[in-house]
Amino acid sequence: MRRRITRLTALVACLAVALFAVPLALVAFAYQLADERAELERAADVAAITAAAQDGAGRPITTLVGTGRDSNAQLALYDANGRRMLGEGPASADRVVRDAATSSVETTDSLLSGSTDDDLVVAIPVTGGSAPMTVRAATSRWEVYRHVAIIGAGMVVLAVLALAIAWIVAVRVTRRLTRPLEELTRAARRLGEGDFTARGPTSDIPEIDAVGVSLAETADRLGQVLARERAFSSDASHQLRTPLAGLRLGLESALECDDVNAHIALRDALAAADRLQVTIEDLLALARDTHQAAEPLDLDRLLTDAEVQWSRPSTDTDRPLIIHRDRDAPQTTASSAAVHQIVSVLLDNARVHGRGRVTLRVRDAPGALAIEVSDEGRGVTTLDADLFQRRSAEASGHGIGLALARSLAEAEGGRLYLSRPTPPTFTLLLPLPNPGRYPEPDAALAGAGTLRAS
């Protein structure tokens, strides 16, 4: 590409020089010819005046005095019979001299139609003398060619200089254009190889910079999509553990107990499979960032699903789930899938790491709907920043749940935080259709504790 642009620029420069040089050369030749003719006319005029003055004074004409810059001009004086009286020229008058003598006007000859093959000739009749005479001035056409050649040589030098400058400029401009394009090509190749940090160069060329910005935006979008898809596998493995455990527990109980009604076991298994399917669909929707039209969150269904989730995976009767719902709990348009997954994470966290009774409460908060999950376990001692940090490197999936729950809450415009370290209480604040100000977490809790990571 670089060579093609350089060659094309050089070709255009050559064409431009040729289009200007040929007409300019013709104009220079015509100008030089006219200038030489004018010089000969001036020399002939001066010689004619001098000859007339000498003849009018009765003195013999011994010299022909000419003027002008051309010292090679040949002057000759002819009488009425066409014989040369004085000077340099043909012995007898040529056509130019005869025409000037008969017409009493000056006659000039061009380089191609002169009386001789090598001369540019001008003839002027002498007036004011005792007898008719004609002054002839001539110069070699090669003098004209010499001056034209000098001008042409200068033009050639200027043309070569112009082409050299055009070549240098073409090389510099081509490098400036192609270098960012080559860097863009390398960045696109890196992006194709999976490097989403690839960025285009800044070249101060708006068109190329626009391509670089588009490439960077594409890399960011692809990186986000890939990150969501990668996070989906770990999030799904974490979120599917509880419904899979419930499904497996129900089937194992049906197999081990002969007195269990098979229909009841199958019905429970189908219900667990339905919840598993809903969980997978919710996770897929959240991973692909697909949002449905804003509809009020069904709190009754949320609490029912929470009760079923708590009761199915375990037969531990010493850890009941207590649900409280305030009558004045407001409505929120947060994503049902996101809220279900957040509550599922908090309940699973309380089951695995908490103790005693687990309380799920839905209440009103200033400008928000508050959902709290607490248990009777030991207090939290880890910093809040570490508590919700994702630790996806652990193969078992631990360290994913709370980070996932907080990210889902923030994606819905809400907030998830540890409201009390003892007893451990997590509060989810969800925005209302007409939001107000969220209550700020207790400042004393900002530096307290860590939670057992789910």
In whole angstroms, give the CA distance from residue 130 to residue 53: 10
Q: Pull the structure tokens for residue 333.
A: 């348009």
Query: What pLDDT does residue 230 have?
Result: 65
Dist CA 308 CA 312 (whole Å):
6
Decide which of 21 and 331 is more confident. Answer: 331
Look at the chain and count its residues. Answer: 454
More confident position, 391 or 170: 170
Q: What is the pTM of this model?
A: 0.45
Instruction: Report whether pLDDT(422) > 80.
Output: yes
Q: Are 378 and 355 in contact (CB under 8 A)?
A: yes
Which has the minimum average pLDDT: 84-98, 180-194, 348-362? Answer: 180-194
Percent of the chain surpassing pLDDT 70: 72
Q: Is the pLDDT assigned to residue 114 strictly greater than 50?
A: no
Q: Could you tell me which of 417, 389, 413 has the C-alpha nearest to residue 401?
A: 389
Q: Find the range with the poorest average confidence among 117-121, 125-129, 190-194, 342-346.
A: 117-121
| pLDDT of res. 372 | 94
Average pLDDT over residues 41-68: 79
pLDDT at 315: 47
Note the Cα 346 to chain centre separation in Å. 46
- Of 54-58, 133-137, 148-152, 391-395, the least confident: 391-395
Q: Give dist(CA 2, CA 18) in Å, integer.
A: 24
Q: How confident is the model at residue 323 (pLDDT cuts 50, 70, 90)?
A: very high
Token pair in block for residue 36: 């030489």
Residue 266 has what pLDDT? Answer: 67
Largest CA distance in the chain: 165
SS3 of the chain: CHHHHHHHHHHHHHHHHHHHHHHHHHHHHHHHHHHHHHHHHHHHHHHHHHHHHHHHCCCCCCCCCCCCCCCCCEEEEEECCCEEEEECCCCECCHHHHHHHHHCCCEECCCCCCCCCCEEEEEEEECCCCCCEEEEEEEEHHHHHHHHHHHHHHHHHHHHHHHHHHHHHHHHHHHHHHHHHHHHHHHHHHHHCCCCCCCCCCCCCHHHHHHHHHHHHHHHHHHHHHHHHHHHHHHHHHHCHHHHHHHHHHHHHHHHCCCCCHHHHHHHHHHHHHHHHHHHHHHHHHHCCCCCCCCCCCHHHHHHHHHHHHHCCCCCCCCCEEEEECCCCCCCCCCHHHHHHHHHHHHHHHHHHCCCCEEEEEEEECCEEEEEEECCCCCCCCCHHHHCCCCCCCCCCCCCHHHHHHHHHHHCCCEEEEEECCCCEEEEEEECCCCCCCCCCCHHHCCCCCCCCC
pLDDT confidence band for 90 (50 / 70 / 90)? confident
Give the whole-angstrom CA distance, residue 239 versus residue 283: 9
pLDDT tens digit sequence for 189-238: 888 887 777 777 777 778 777 887 888 888 888 877 777 666 666 656 65
Q: What are the beta bridge partners of residue 368? A: 365, 431
User: For 245-290, what is each residue's pLDDT tens digit?
Assistant: 666 766 676 666 665 566 666 666 776 677 667 667 666 666 655 5
